[in-house]
Amino acid sequence: MAIVLTESVADKLLPFATLVSGALALGFRVDVFASYWGRGAGRTSPAPAGATVSPGHGKEGARRESALAAPKAPSWKAMLEMAKSIGELHIYACSQSMELLGLSKDELDPLVNEVTGVATFIDRTRYARVTYFI
């Protein structure tokens, strides 16, 4: 499974982490190219507090937001860490984005395996069975 990740809001990160966990549990190898936000999400500082739900959902958005803030709500970060411990999860940070945002490797989360260009990612995932852009 190959995933290009550009989102940084919880209502995208949770489906993302859920997909990754499910795929790893089934024995898939999962490769993630964190293209733009990726570097944001992969940074050691926590995500901005307000950015939990993408706009445009109307009243449904408020319901989501409170559900995601509830104590019983799963943490996408914890799900990813757990998933990485049970299967083959490779996370690449986009080198072009890092340069554009002036980020150094030290600012990346330990979950990130390496920094690569997009061609490397496409080359490594050209035989992926399942591909998603998030």
Give contact residues for a copy of itself (rule: CB under 8 A): 1-4, 6, 8-9, 11-12, 14-15, 18-19, 21-23, 25-26, 28, 35-37, 40, 47-51, 53-61, 63-64, 67-68, 70, 72-74, 94, 96, 100-102, 117-119, 121-123, 125-134
The minimum distance between CB 100 and a copy of itself, in angstroms, equals 5
Nearer to a copy of itself, 85 or 102 (CB): 102
The minimum distance between CB 131 and a copy of itself, in angstroms, equals 5
Nearer to a copy of itself, 51 or 111 (CB): 51
Which whole-number Å values give the CA distances from 111 to 69, 70, 95, 104, in the listed order? 23, 25, 16, 15
Which two structure tokens, joined as six digits, stand for 79? 């799900």
The minimum distance between CB 41 and a copy of itself, in angstroms, equals 9
Buried/exposed code over 54-83 (b: 16+ C-beta within 10 A; e: otherwise): eeeeeeeeeebbeebeeeeeeebeebbeeb
Which two structure tokens, joined as six digits, stand for 76? 């996408």
CB under 8 Å to 6, separation ≥6 — which residues?
Answer: 35, 36, 37, 38, 133, 134
The minimum distance between CB 110 and a copy of itself, in angstroms, equals 19
Nearer to a copy of itself, 85 or 119 (CB): 119
Nearer to a copy of itself, 53 or 80 (CB): 53
Radius of gyration of the chain (CA): 15
E strand residue ranges, 39-88: none
